[in-house]
Structure 1
Amino acid sequence: MTGASYNPAPRAHPGLHVLALFEGLKGLLALIAAASLEVLGPQPLRNLITSLISRFNLDPAHGTLPSLLDAINPGAVHLAVAVVSLYAVWRLVEGWGLWRARAWASWLGCVGTAAYLPLDAYAIYHHDGWHTWAVLVLNLIVVAVLARDLVKRRA
């Protein structure tokens, strides 16, 4: 490379290890969710929505929950399992890379987390509360830690 030197594998700082564990945990939970959804199938979800409709005395023919009930079928469940599985693999690979202080993992995490920031701002605008601010602040911290790691690699 021309210009600034590039240190591809500095010693991982504790912030990267904390993020690696966090990403690994998210990946593990997503794998558990995907496996559970695949094993259980659509019927438990349909039962839950039916009980919510009944509990809140909603019209079973109109509204969001009945529409959701109609959308839950084996094909939709398989698609959800595939999407959640991809998310899980993404997070597990990112966690492994962060633990090993890989630059590509910092890029993956920084870009992936920064993609959530507009959604966080939207959530604050429409559902202002401490929890939406906490998510925004947490995501900003993650982006800052990973961006700092990438800047330090350039220095």
Structure 2
Amino acid sequence: MKQRQPYNPDRHAHPGLAAIALLEAGKAVLAFLAAAGLEISGPAPLRNIVNTLVRRVGADPEHGSFSNLLDLITPDTVHVGVIALVAYGLLRAVEAWGLWRAKAWASWLGCISAALYLPLDVYAIARHPGWASWLLLAVNVLVVWVLARDIGKRRPPRNA
């Protein structure tokens, strides 16, 4: 039986962790930029975007559930959205830092959070098949595989 090598905590020994760390750091930056843009612009541009999208699908933004959606876009709900984006950005930044430093908890966090997206990715392919949906699924499967493999390598070898 092949003897398992002891785990090497050096991030350079795990290029997949560094790549995923950079991906997560990018998500954090995008979340922070979105939060800043939403906070600076306020609810008016968001209402205009939703209004345009509603008209584009042929619905009437003045009546029905779309009217209720537009009524929900207020300065207070924009602040809630900003808080949610900042929290998401912080989570991704902490995960990126942990993966960059090859921390076990970061591999667990990343593996679980990426795995949670897999059913949504499959649903997206079923609803909107295309290269973008397939690429997103492939990236998330790869992230889960790399992080699960890292978690598995961290387990102490069994004594025969």
Check 1:41–1:64 CA distance in 2 against 1; reply closer, same or farther (3 A cut): same
1:49 offset after TM fit, Å? 3.0
Aligned residues, how many? 151
SS state of the match for residue 92, structure 1?
A: helix
Q: Is the 8 A contact 2:29 2:89 kept in 1?
A: yes
Aligned residue in 2 for 1:29: 30
Aligned pairs for 1:1-155 (under 5 A) are 7=7, 10-12=9-11, 13-52=14-53, 58-62=59-63, 65-154=66-155, 155=157
2: CA distance, partners of 1:102 / 1:57? 50
1:108 offset after TM fit, Å? 0.5
- The letter of the residue matching 1:61 is E
Check 1:144–1:54 CA distance in 2 against 1; reply closer, same or farther (3 A cut): closer
Identify which of structures 1 and 2 has the higher relative contact order when contacts are C-alpha pairs closer than 8 Å and 6+ apart: 1
Q: Is the 8 A contact 1:10 1:153 kept in 2?
A: no
2: CA distance, partners of 1:123 / 1:55? 21
SS state of the match for residue 60, structure 1?
A: coil
Instruction: Name the TM-score, length of structure 1 as normaliser.
Output: 0.85
1:117 offset after TM fit, Å? 0.8
Check 1:134–1:55 CA distance in 2 against 1; reply closer, same or farther (3 A cut): closer
SS state of the match for residue 61, structure 1?
A: coil
- The letter of the residue matching 1:10 is P
Note the aligned Cα RMSD (angstroms): 2.3
Please list every run of 5 or more consecutive structure 1 residues that lacks an aligned counterpart in the other structure: none
Q: Is the 8 A contact 1:109 1:143 kept in 2?
A: yes
Q: Is the 8 A contact 2:31 2:86 kept in 1?
A: yes
2: CA distance, partners of 1:64 / 1:49? 12
- The letter of the residue matching 2:154 is R
Please list every run of 5 or more consecutive structure 2 residues that lacks an aligned counterpart in the other structure: none
Instruction: Name the TM-score, length of structure 2 as normaliser.
Output: 0.83
Cα deviation 1:75-121 (Å, max 9, x = unaligned): 21111111111110000000000000000000000001001111112
